[in-house]
């Protein structure tokens, strides 16, 4: 919420749970000082894929745009959750400013253990 309040957006970030149960965050080095969110997400997915033998679950969090029921584009936070033996899920939380709205879930896309 701090990043949303200060900047109105945030770069994607990822977390993973190791086989030992520790939560870690992959560090990535974008090629430029001002990468796009898609570039950062791609680097994070590459890092998670490289570590998949040592992790048991992964999450990628992104600031996205979704189409609301009225057809208008809206801001939302999307958290993609994935584990090797389970179906991936995505949780989406629409927001306006710093006010979070009702989250909803959907089937996710297998991107780490593809």
pLDDT, tens digit (0-9, with 9 covering 90-100), for 56-113: 999 999 999 999 888 899 999 999 999 999 999 999 999 998 899 999 999 999 999 9
Residues 51-68 have pLDDT tens digits of: 999 999 999 999 999 998
Q: What's CA 94's distance to the chain center, in Å?
A: 14
Per-residue pLDDT, averaged over 10-39, amounts to 95
Question: pTM of the full predicted structure?
Answer: 0.90
Predicted confidence band of residue 9 (pLDDT cuts 50, 70, 90): confident
Domain boundaries, the chain: 2-107
Cβ(15)–Cβ(81) below 8 Å:
no
Round the average pLDDT of the chain to a whole number and report it: 93
Return all residues near 23 (Cβ < 8 A) that are at least 6 apart. Answer: 15, 16, 17
Predicted confidence at residue 24, as pLDDT, reads 97
Judge contact between 52 and 42, C-beta under 8 A.
no
Could you tell me if 47 and 40 are in contact, meaning their C-beta atoms sit under 8 angstroms apart?
Answer: no
């Amino acid at each position: 919420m701090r990043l949303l309040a200060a900047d109105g957006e945030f770069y994607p970030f990822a977390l993973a749970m190791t086989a030992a149960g520790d939560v870690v965050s992959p560090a990535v080095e974008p090629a430029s000082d001002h990468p796009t969110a898609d570039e950062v997400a791609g680097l994070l997915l590459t890092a998670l894929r490289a570590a998949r033998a040592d992790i048991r679950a992964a999450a990628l969090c992104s600031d996205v745009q979704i189409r609301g029921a009225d057809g208008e584009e809206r801001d939302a936070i999307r958290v993609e959750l994935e584990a090797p033996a389970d179906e991936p899920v995505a949780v989406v939380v629409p927001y306006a400013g710093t006010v979070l709205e009702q989250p909803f879930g959907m089937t996710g896309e297998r991107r780490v253990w593809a």
